[in-house]
């Protein structure tokens, strides 16, 4: 680990507020799959473990913690409102903002090529690492430790809940598009990459009178929502 990255990992650990009993869990959570490209083992013969499995588990931990917090904070909210609020707190954009604020990017372990291509600032990579970190904390200290880290990292997101345009962007785009006479938005999947358990979808959204716009997500629905939000931002709707 270079001195610069070592300092970034130490700073991140302080931000998390969790002292790892097993530091290798945090190291794995910060290891991007590009580190193992072309090699099944590292220089001393140990298998290279990236953060994909931890990200898979951390996604579920995050969903549980957000749902738990929403149940407490909004005792009168219906299922639809709760779902919208949950999406605004767990989607890729929210996780990426959390990761950027926490200083995850400089602490990541990735290939030189991925780093040169801006991987340390890429939303998808930051979001995956944040979820992997939550999983690492969970396996190291249990659900209470994960909850404490979640409350600390998501403090700003919880204090500034998304507007309806952000929490339910497809409905907001549809309402605006119909209001200005451009008809219904159309969505299509243009690409699907990644493994079966952690796919990435690229979806294009189009409305009459504008060029199409694409966005990525870990599910088709998430990609559609990201594309709708991006289109509204581009058109100056929000």
Q: How many CB atoms lie within 10 A of CB 186?
A: 11
Check: CB of residue 96 under 8 Å from CB of residue 127.
yes
One of 59, 114, 204, 224 is an active-site residue; which one? 59
Give 201's strand partners.
192, 217
One of 55, 131, 204, 222 is an active-site residue; which one? 131
Identify the burial level of 49 via C-beta atoms within 10 angstroms of its C-beta, where 0-12 means exposed, 13-18 middle and 19 or more buried: middle
Catalytic residue status for 222: no
Catalytic residue status for 59: yes
DSSP, residue by residue, 50-107:
-SHHHHHHHHHHHHHHHHHHHHHH-TT--HHHHHHHHHHHHSHHHHHHHHHHHTHHHH
Task: Fill in the DSSP letter of residue 163.
Answer: P
Closest Cα to residue 151, out of 18, 2, 4, 38?
Answer: 18
Check: CB of residue 35 under 8 Å from CB of residue 111.
yes
Check: CB of residue 133 under 8 Å from CB of residue 95.
no
Instruction: Give the residue numbers marked as catalytic.
Output: 59, 131
């Amino acid at each position: 680990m270079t001195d610069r990255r070592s300092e970034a990992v130490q700073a991140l650990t302080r931000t998390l507020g969790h002292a790892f009993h097993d530091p290798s869990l945090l190291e794995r959570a910060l290891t991007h799959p590009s580190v193992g490209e072309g090699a099944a083992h590292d220089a001393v013969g140990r298998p290279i473990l990236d953060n994909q499995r931890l990200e898979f588990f951390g996604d579920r931990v995050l969903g549980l913690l957000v749902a738990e917090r929403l149940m407490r904070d909004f005792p009168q909210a219906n299922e639809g409102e709760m779902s919208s609020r949950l999406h605004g707190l767990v989607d890729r954009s929210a996780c990426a903002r959390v990761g950027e604020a926490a200083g995850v990017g400089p602490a990541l372990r990735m290939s030189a090529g991925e780093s040169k291509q801006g991987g340390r600032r890429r939303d998808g990579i930051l979001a995956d690492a944040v979820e992997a970190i939550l999983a690492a904390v969970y396996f190291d200290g249990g659900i209470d430790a994960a909850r404490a880290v979640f409350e600390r990292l998501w403090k700003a997101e919880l204090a500034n809940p998304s507007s309806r345009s952000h929490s339910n962007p497809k409905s907001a785009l549809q309402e605006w598009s119909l209001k200005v006479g451009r008809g219904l938005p159309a969505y299509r999947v243009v690409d699907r990459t990644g493994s079966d358990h952690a796919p990435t979808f690229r979806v294009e959204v189009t409305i009459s009178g504008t060029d199409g716009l694409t966005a990525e997500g870990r599910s088709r629905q998430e990609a559609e929502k990201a594309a709708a939000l991006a289109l509204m931002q581009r058109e100056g709707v929000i």
